Chain A
Amino acid sequence: MTRANLILLALIACIAALPLFGEAYTLRLGTIACMYAIMALSWNVVGGFAGYPSFATAAFFGLGAYIGGVLLARGMPLTMAIPIAGIGSFLVAALLGAALLRLRGHYFAIASLSLIEVFRELVNNATDLTGGGMGLNIPLAASAGVMADATFFFYLMWGVLLVTAVMVIAVSMSKLGFGLSCIMQNETAANMVGLNTTLYKSVAFGLSACFVGAAGGVYAAWVHYIDPSDVFDILYSVKPIVMALIGGLGSPLGVTIGAFVYLGLEEVVWRNYIQIHSGVLGVLIVLLLLFLPHGLTSLRGWRLWGRAKNV
């Protein structure tokens, strides 16, 4: 295991200590931080390792939220609903991936964006099952108080994050990860030397959806109310990309740090500029892409001292 991956696990272990210090607000932030890190890490499997510009994160987040939400509303216990949300997302994504991942570049981006619309409209129209545009209420579990609830959902999200991180590290060290980086560099060549690229890509797409779906399920249980325009928000697709771009594409540690940095920025913007928060977010995205194309790592070059670079 590389040093960066060890640091990642250590970082996640440190986050687990958060309830020792925090009040409810800190726990809420911590839960969202874990959720964002799950999204960024998952996106990294298909976007960073395989190099496919996927905008489908929101589609599977929403799918998982609705699978989890509907099951919870029907009285299924949390311990079963969340895994089913994850596995369901995995299967749907792997099947869709086999077809969609034949597309490349712009066409794949458009198709994955459209996936959000399709899922949202389907959920919107399946009123009997999902409540449609009125949203879905998820009954409160027997509550032991505000702090106990907050702590419980924080650890639930944290647990999903831990599993996600272990999965991503395992992928990066395995034959699958090697295959994905071959696909990123030259897919045709990878296919020629006998790599089953369709299978690899489908599994990667499925894995990138699986934990996002589980996180969606946890989110639904946590906030007790979801509606289609909330969970199928295209921002959930763009945020992980921004996080990955902040931290540096492809590195699990980088994207996790990117997720935390992004959450910090978002929170500051939300607190101070509620009316124009999405505009400020847009400015941040534009500035990031124009001036820090390699994320925070591009700041290294700004040191005034040190050796001159050979151009």
Chain B
Amino acid sequence: MLAAQILINALVLGCLYACIAIGFSLVWGVLNVINLIHGSFIVLGAYLAWGLYQGLHISPWYSLAVAAPLFFVFGYVIQRLILNRVITAPVLVTLTLTFGLDLILNNAMIYYFKADYRKLTLTPPMGSVSIFDVVVPVDRLIATVAALALTFVLYLILRRLRVGRAIVAVRLDRDAAVLMGVNVNSIYAIAFGLGAALAGCAGVLMALIFPISPLTSTAYLGKAFVVCVLGGLGSVSGALAGGILLALIEGVGSAMIGPAHATTLSFVLLIVFLILRPQGLLGRKGFE
């Protein structure tokens, strides 16, 4: 039964990890930028859900609809005004720039919200379901379904919409996309906006499950790194596979060698994967 519980926990947590990582993966894949603000976006999304629930009693499920457009605009503006100026610079410059932006956003959050840990507690609490001996909290289950739905929405956007196909085209071959009349700068901004929107929505879902504090942003960012590298860059299915794999490894690792070593294990795995299979589980070789 323990094995079944670990498996279910990993599936639930894995979908959430995928949701955390997918915006990061999109930005990395399309803009070729390692976006270090991603973790702070997630925390900001969590604060948004918390604030709306505490202040206006708006349920987090509706907060998703508020967070998505808000963060899209936020990301779009940041990309257009700041990031776009150095978009062709080497990784050193883009990475350091997003680190600087992250310092600003994170410090602003610490300043306004303080570094206290908060928790969004739904009243009444939603309880938990148990099938045989496997127990899953209901809020976690719903958050998982919402995370899957968000992932699926991104998949639909990328496959069905004109703008989504343009994003994929830019990712596959930027120069060819330019020749086909795609406005690359606008696509970059839209992709970054989408990445931010997904981060914001992921944050709303995280608020239901994990404590909220500006200090947790690096942990989210770390998960996004690992999921991206495990699953392969820029693909929706890769992020899902990477997320579930990471959750499984953490779950099994915690059970076998103790929870203290789970994070170490995931980062060691990240480095091993980078060296042995940098294209990730589902990635194709030579496809950067």
Residues of A participating in the B interface, judged by any CB pair closer than 8 Å: 47, 53, 55, 99-100, 102-103, 105-107, 109-111, 113-115, 117-118, 121-122, 124-125, 234, 238, 241-242, 245, 275-279, 281-286, 289-290, 293
Contacts and interface: CB of A to CB of B under 8 A. Distances in A.
Interface string B249-270: 0000000000011011001101
A283 B274 contact: no
A234 B221 CA distance: 13
Contacts of B102: 282
Given A110-B225, A289-B96, A282 B103 contact: yes
B275 A289 contact: no
Given A103-B278, A276-B111, A238 B32 contact: no
Nearest to A290: B85
B271 A286 contact: no
Nearest to B219: A117
B97 A285 contact: yes
B267 A103 contact: no
B99 to A, nearest CB: 5
Contacts of A99: 275
Contacts, number: 117
B104 A110 contact: no
A53 B90 contact: yes
B104 A107 contact: no
Contacts of A279: 103-104, 106-108, 111
B209 interface: no
Contacts of B268: 118
20 contacts: A47-B92, A53-B90, A100-B271, A106-B91, A110-B270, A110-B274, A115-B271, A117-B222, A118-B267, A121-B267, A278-B103, A278-B106, A278-B107, A282-B102, A282-B104, A285-B100, A286-B100, A286-B101, A289-B86, A293-B89
Given A111-B275, A234-B218, A275-B111, 15 more contacts: A109-B92, A110-B229, A117-B222, A117-B267, A238-B96, A245-B96, A276-B107, A278-B103, A279-B106, A283-B100, A285-B96, A286-B100, A286-B101, A289-B97, A290-B97
Nearest to A132: B260
B34 A106 contact: yes
A293 B32 contact: no
A102 B102 CA distance: 29
Contacts of A122: 264
Contacts of B150: none
Contact of A100 (B96, B225, B275): B275
Given A276-B111, A278-B103, A279-B104, A286 B97 contact: yes
A286 B275 contact: no
Contacts of A124: 260
Contacts of A281: 100, 103
Contacts of B267: 114, 117-118, 121
A293 B89 CA distance: 10
A114 B230 CA distance: 14
A259 to B, nearest CB: 16
B104 A105 contact: no
A109 B91 contact: yes
B93 interface: yes
A59 to B, nearest CB: 11
Contacts of B28: 106
B82 A241 contact: no
A118 B91 contact: no
